[in-house]
Amino acid sequence: MTDTKSNTPEKDKVQYVAISPDMFQAQNNDDEIDLRELWNVIWRGKWLIIAITTIFAVASVFYALSLPNIYKSEALLAPADSDQQGGLSGLSGQLGGLASLAGVNLGGGKTDKTALAIEILKSREFFAKFAEKHNILPDLIAAESWDMGSNTIIYDEEVYLPENDEWIRKVSPPKMVKPSSQEGKRAFDLIFSVEQDKKSSIVTVSVEHLSPYVAKSWVDWLVEDINEEMKMRDKEEAESSVAYLQEQIAKTNIVEQKNLLYQLIEEQEKTLMFTEVRREYVFNTIDSALVTESKVKPRRTLILLLSGVAGIVVSLLVIFLVKTFNRDESIN
């Protein structure tokens, strides 16, 4: 008679363990006990939490009140419409084909004047000229506060004496007593910003300072100086181009080449005219800088809130560390 029992090995058999509702209840009870214990630990240390949080809050109040107000002034600019690109490089797109036929090489293509002007604004060379022209280093590095009533800058007397226009600060090499343009550039980059909106092409130039009047003046000077800088660059390039073209005219007897060269000179004369008549050469001002009435820094309420949160976190860490240390001591 055939044995009907299964021949499946014992290791392949699935064993089922019955889990009773009491086990789930026990687990829930353990979780509840842990949460209750955690709350009890926090509750027992409530006075420590209050004390540490209060210390952090009071310290943050003194810190926030010690920070001077910072004001921000900004100008909105639009790239100026330009019929000329400036120099021979600007003519290559318009007359490049004819120039090639005439045997004249005009060089590169169009240049983005707006992008170029923005990069010049950020450059070390431009800042060095700007700082020297307007003597901004004392207000940039030595300014300590601003007296709203008299609208005067108060300088750190251990750094700079405004009466004698004398720098007296004590520094270690390679720094110099009078700040260099490199040191000034580093300080200026912290408060200066120039950005262009990719969609609208609108450019925003902004400066932050202790004095809203200084911030406004610097923005106005930056816009004025970059327009003047770009104007002079194009003027010098156009004058050099005219001189070059006149030399080429004197060297050739081919009528077609001369006619083309005269057209190129005419375009350069148009550039020179623009440099003479345009005040806002590369940027047109949409919204000029203002003396702002509201500060942008410091955000004292935020400092207080963050300090309060930090105080709570630190106090909880102290409580749990003490609890863990005491538990380890009791085990040992």
More confident residue, 255 or 17: 255
pLDDT at position 21, please? Answer: 53
Checking DSSP bridges between strand 203-209 and strand 70-79, what pairing results, if any?
A: antiparallel
- Spatial distance between the Cα atoms of 58 and 83, rounded to a whole number of angstroms: 62
What is the average pLDDT score of the chain? 81
Confidence of residue 108 (pLDDT cuts 50, 70, 90): very low
Query: What 3-state class would DSSP assign to 38?
Result: helix
- What sign for the dihedral angle of Cα 241, 245, 248, 250? negative
Tell me which DSSP letter residue 280 carries: S
pLDDT at position 117, please? Answer: 94
- Least confident window among 120-124, 193-197, 270-274: 270-274
Query: How open is the CA angle 271-274-279, to the nearest 5 degrees?
Result: 145
Q: Count how many Cα atoms sit within 13 Å of the Cα of residue 193 in the half-sphere of its side chain.
A: 14
Domain boundaries, the chain: 70-297
Question: Is residue 17 over pLDDT 70?
Answer: no
pLDDT at position 332, please? Answer: 56
* Section 41-48 average pLDDT: 82
* Section 60-76 average pLDDT: 89
pLDDT at position 181, please? Answer: 92
Q: With left for phi above 0 and alpha for psi between -120 and 50, is residue 158 left, alpha or beta?
A: alpha
What is the second-level CATH architecture of the domain 70-297?
A: 2-Layer Sandwich (3.30)
Confidence of residue 194 (pLDDT cuts 50, 70, 90): very high
Query: What 3-state class would DSSP assign to 216?
Result: helix
CB atoms within 10 A of CB 299: 13
More confident residue, 21 or 204: 204
pLDDT at position 134, please? Answer: 96
Distance of CA 210 to the CA centre of its chain: 18
Confidence of residue 20 (pLDDT cuts 50, 70, 90): low
- Residue 32: φ, ψ to 5°: -65, -40
Contact indicator for 168, 159 with CB cutoff of 8 Å: yes
Q: How far is CA 307 from CA 61, 296, 320, in A?
A: 9, 20, 20
More confident residue, 248 or 83: 248
Question: Is residue 14 over pLDDT 60?
Answer: no
* Section 133-162 average pLDDT: 94
- Least confident window among 159-173, 240-254, 283-297: 240-254
Question: Is residue 102 over pLDDT 50?
Answer: no
- Picking from 265, 231, 234, 238, the residue whose alpha carbon sits closest to that of residue 250 is 265
More confident residue, 176 or 16: 176
pLDDT at position 330, please? Answer: 58
Query: How open is the CA angle 280-185-116, to the nearest 5 degrees?
Result: 40
Confidence of residue 15 (pLDDT cuts 50, 70, 90): low
* Section 122-134 average pLDDT: 96
Confidence of residue 329 (pLDDT cuts 50, 70, 90): low
Question: Is residue 297 over pLDDT 80?
Answer: yes
* Section 125-140 average pLDDT: 96
Query: How open is the CA angle 91-93-95, to the nearest 5 degrees?
Result: 60
Q: How far is CA 301 from CA 51, 57, 63, 71, in A?
A: 20, 11, 12, 17
More confident residue, 251 or 290: 290
* One-letter identity of residue 160: Y
| Residues facing 208 on adjacent strands | 72
